[in-house]
Amino acid sequence: METREQKQIRRQLDEVQGGTAEQIRLQKRITDIQFHFKQDREKAKPTRNQLIVKDTAPYMKEYDFWCKNCQIDFRAPCYRYIVHLSNDVYASWRAICPECDTQCVRHITDRLHDPYYDHSRYILRQRNIYMKDVLKDGQYGFRTLYGDPYEAFTKRKMEDELRLFEDVSGMGYKHLGRKEREEARAREELKQERLYGKG
């Protein structure tokens, strides 16, 4: 025999379970609808490349190009060339080399992999200009540009060493005659020169 309380609980449980089944059905329907909405939205959303291309004009009055054939940099008017491939778009600028009429290409999408940056002398020069500003001592070209930053220090050190050497050699050659002493010094100096260079 169930008590009144037990009956009430069972009724509540039945209600909840029935409600849950309905809820599950509705929830599933909502999820389905949301999923399809999302899919539609994703499809309608422009890709990164599409956004990039949208920002460009079909023609440009002037742009930098590199001709592989002539190995020259040139500025020329160019037009946009678009390729549609598997739901995406790829674009480039095309110009004609004034020297040899070759078609030259600059990337609009995927600009990081534009070979122009690897070949152009103009870009190389630009990079070298900035390279100068971040050059450190010991790197190639630093001393040509800025000289030896330790010149004074090196000179002082050499002078100190020479003085020390003269003191010591003076002591060491005391027993020799003047001519012999000079010869010995000359020999020692030559040795020092070979070791540390002139000056």
CB atoms near residue 96 (< 10 Å): 17
Closest approach of Zn ion to the CB of residue 60, in Å: 19
Nearer to Zn ion by Cβ, of 19 and 98: the residue is 98
Closest approach of Zn ion to the CB of residue 102, in Å: 5
Nearer to Zn ion by Cβ, of 66 and 92: the residue is 66
Q: Could you tell me the two tokens for 138?
A: 């010991």
| Strand-pair partners of 85 | 88
Q: Which long-range contacts (CB under 8 A, 24 or more apart) does 99-105 make?
A: 99/67, 99/69, 99/70, 99/72, 99/74, 100/67, 100/69, 100/70, 102/67, 102/68, 102/69, 102/70, 104/65, 104/66, 104/67, 104/68, 105/81
Closest approach of Zn ion to the CB of residue 57, in Å: 25
Nearer to Zn ion by Cβ, of 34 and 69: the residue is 69
Nearer to Zn ion by Cβ, of 115 and 149: the residue is 115
Write out the H or E segment, with its range, that includes residue 158. helix 151-172
Closest approach of Zn ion to the CB of residue 98, in Å: 8
Kindly list the residues in this chain that would bind Zn ion in the complex (CB under 5 A).
67, 69-70, 97, 99-100, 102
Closest approach of Zn ion to the CB of residue 77, in Å: 16
